[in-house]
Chain A
């Protein structure tokens, strides 16, 4: 006699679990937990009067309310600021309009001439914060480039590499030779 209740064919679901795991692994690998990152700075103390600094030692950056940059009196695009600042920090050719040099002796580096550079930022009350951060970022980049170059000359290794390899004495020497000096004018608004 023929059976009336037809057996539905079994679907092989054995691979379902594999697919699910594959998906899980995929998302595990691709998701990144948002981490707090940013630009670290140390604000200057309230009463800081360093006295007059010679004009040539200061890279003056003025920002107006339309977020335009005036660097040493020239209109500059923010993309070019990093290169301009790098040239200023190093003053390789000892140009008379770029920072003075000072001969010092630093452990690990010996006797070298370092530049007496200071970078000054002055912004308008209505300058956008985004522009300010972009300037700070460009200047950080310029200092990093300058430090990388100095490290390459003395230790045949970039500054970033020195940090990675935890050669703290050398890192400290480089930082001492090229200190990050970004000053911000007291607000006049």
Chain B
């Protein structure tokens, strides 16, 4: 029996796994569905950003805020993000952007609380993460 086609089958499998793997740099501990928008902008320097993830807990329907790989209180966010910003070189600290990844069904009171917190800590630059509508 000819085995000439075996390497090809192996390659096909390899390709299959290559395309189905999703590279994810952060682990989402809550499921979120981002809102969609048209007028979007990209961020070129990802190292100048930090993400805050806001979504509802599936079972309890309580709003949860995830920062890095743990859940935090809205009141602690300012300190955590300031620490993150303080690690950047001085001349880059002004370019620090907080990326807010929130579920589209979140009530605004949660979002507003976070925004007030950011303002208190002079973290003025914010990006509302969205899916791009085409």
Where the two chains meet, the residues of A that have a C-beta atom closer than 8 Å to any C-beta of B are: 8, 10-11, 13, 16-17, 19-20, 23-24, 27, 31, 33-46, 123-130, 132-134, 136-137, 140-141, 144, 187, 189
Contact = CB atoms under 8 A, between A and B. Distances in A.
Q: How large is the interface on B (under 10, 10 to 19, 20 to 34, 35 or more residues)?
A: 35 or more
A175 B27 CA distance: 38
Contacts of B116: 187
23 contacts: A11-B5, A24-B15, A33-B23, A34-B22, A36-B43, A37-B132, A38-B130, A39-B37, A42-B124, A44-B119, A125-B107, A125-B108, A125-B109, A127-B107, A128-B108, A129-B103, A129-B108, A133-B35, A134-B35, A136-B128, A137-B39, A137-B130, A141-B39
Residue from the set A23, A24, A39, A41 with the largest chain B CB neighbour count within 10 Å: A39
Given A36-B42, A36-B43, A38-B40, 9 more contacts: A38-B43, A43-B115, A44-B119, A129-B105, A129-B111, A130-B35, A133-B128, A137-B37, A141-B38
Contact of B38 (A20, A27, A129, A137): A137
B106 to A, nearest CB: 4
B108 A16 contact: no
Nearest to B49: A36
A23 B108 CA distance: 46
B104 A129 contact: yes
Nearest to B54: A129
The 4 A-B pairs of least Cβ separation, nearest first, read A130-B104, A140-B39, A137-B37, A125-B109
Contacts of A36: 42-43, 46, 49, 99, 127, 129
B1 A8 contact: yes
Contacts of A144: 39
Contact of A38 (B1, B99, B111, B122): B99
B8 interface: yes
Nearest to B107: A126
B108 A133 contact: no
Interface string B75-116: 000000000000000000000010100111111110110011
Contacts of A134: 35, 37
Nearest to B102: A129
A129 B39 contact: no
B98 to A, nearest CB: 9
B5 A13 contact: yes
B19 A31 contact: yes
Interface in B1-59: 1-2, 4-5, 8, 11-12, 15, 18-19, 22-23, 35, 37-43, 46, 49
B99 A129 contact: no
